[in-house]
Amino acid sequence: MSHHPDPSPGTALVTGGAGFIGSHIVDRLVADRWSVRVLDDFSSGREENLARSGREIELIRGDLCDPETLEAATRGVEVIFHEGAIPSVPRSVADPRGTNAVNLEGTLGVLEAARRNGVRRVVLAASAAAYGDVDLLPLVESGPVRPLSPYALQKYGSELYCTLYASLYGLETVALRYFNVYGPRQDPASDYAAAIPLFVSAALEDRGVTVFGDGEQSRDFVYIDDVVEANLRAAAAPATSASGRVTNVASGRRTTVNELIEVLSDCVGHPIPVTHDAPRVGDIRHSWAEVSLARELLGWAPSRTLAEGLRFTVDAYKRGEEIG
């Protein structure tokens, strides 16, 4: 059976659509004239994140672990962007079963509902956490994975389910291994905020920042708009090359925490005082992605430099966009 892609976009479901990444995907889908449905339980998502698109979407407040809710949410849907999860390593360590129910069983539920309701494609928010402390850099999709936390395992398991559903049932799936995503709306006040929102809010409030260890640890920071674009491409890429595949979504560059602070102080126009604390147990030293597979499979490449992305982020935080 061959698919004839419809030139006018259909209905998309964004699970976790009130969250940081999900809400940016929602805004883009609305701008591209998709009919958009959001399923979110607002456990970490926020009403304010949907301020821009709120009136134009169908919002389902509910738990993605509930089969009846999912059944209703996936009816008539062409593409699912599955962002809903409990995206916290420490929480997964404290509560492996509770987080597994959402992060792994939740994904299985989404795939099942997609299969039953004839959804064309599921795009999964997977994670670079799957790589763990693999030290063959840059990290490639064909290389080893070593999940070091329940969260990492749950995300990795979700990828495997996606690939399995593609081969076993012919459901089109694409799993995107996000690296360190940053941008407006990332909550600096959350229990598991990443470095950038914490540093940006500290810099704007003239506070110093705490760096764990010597600051020479590196990460691959990818700007939210690039991540949104990767999702859109993942929804549209030909099934023959993309379905069942797993690909990195990253900047393809490594930045040390010390460099990050330097670029950010340039951006805010004043030096940022740094206090050093003991290295955090379990933190990986370096993370850096190879991004050529995403180009090959999805025709996607990162476009924002860190300086540009930080500027957009700082401007948005100044406008108060982190809370609305």
List the one residue from 27, 41, 220, 226 that touches ligand NAD (CB under 6 A): 41
Give, as ranges, the residues between 113 and 132 that touch ligand NAD (CB under 6 A).
125, 127
Does position 38 bind ligand NAD by CB under 6 A?
A: no
Site string for ligand NAD, 92-111 (x = CB under 6 A): ----------x---------
Does position 21 bind ligand NAD by CB under 6 A?
A: yes
**Cβ contact 296:248 at 8 Å:** no
Q: Would you tell me how many other CB atoms lie within 10 Å of the CB of residue 272?
A: 18
List the one residue from 53, 180, 201, 247 that touches ligand NAD (CB under 6 A): 180
* Identity of residue 142: S
State the minimum distance, in angstroms, from the CB of residue 6 to ligand NAD.
Answer: 27
List the one residue from 26, 27, 45, 290 that touches ligand NAD (CB under 6 A): 45
Tokens encoding 320:
């108060």
List the one residue from 32, 42, 135, 144 that touches ligand NAD (CB under 6 A): 42
Window contacting ligand NAD (CB under 6 A); options: 4-12, 79-87, 92-100, 282-290? 79-87
Does position 19 bind ligand NAD by CB under 6 A?
A: yes
**Cβ contact 13:77 at 8 Å:** yes
Rounded Cα distance, 185 and 196, in Å: 11
**Helix ranges, 65-119 (H):** 67-74, 89-94, 96-103, 105-116
Does position 150 bind ligand NAD by CB under 6 A?
A: no
DSSP-derived secondary structure for 126-170: EEGGGGTT--SSSB-TTS-----SHHHHHHHHHHHHHHHHHHHH-
List the one residue from 12, 14, 64, 232 that touches ligand NAD (CB under 6 A): 64
List the one residue from 12, 36, 40, 272 that touches ligand NAD (CB under 6 A): 40
Size of the site for ligand NAD (CB under 6 A): 27
Which whole-number Å values give the CA distances from 193 to 89, 254, 318, in the listed order? 11, 20, 18
Does position 43 bind ligand NAD by CB under 6 A?
A: yes
**Cβ contact 18:45 at 8 Å:** yes
Query: How far is Cα of residue 17 from the mean position of the Cα atoms in its chain?
Result: 11
Rounded Cα distance, 66 and 277, in Å: 42
State the minimum distance, in angstroms, from the CB of residue 317 to ligand NAD.
Answer: 16
Binding-site ranges for ligand NAD (CB under 6 A) = 16, 18-22, 39-45, 63-65, 83-87, 102, 125, 127, 178, 180-181
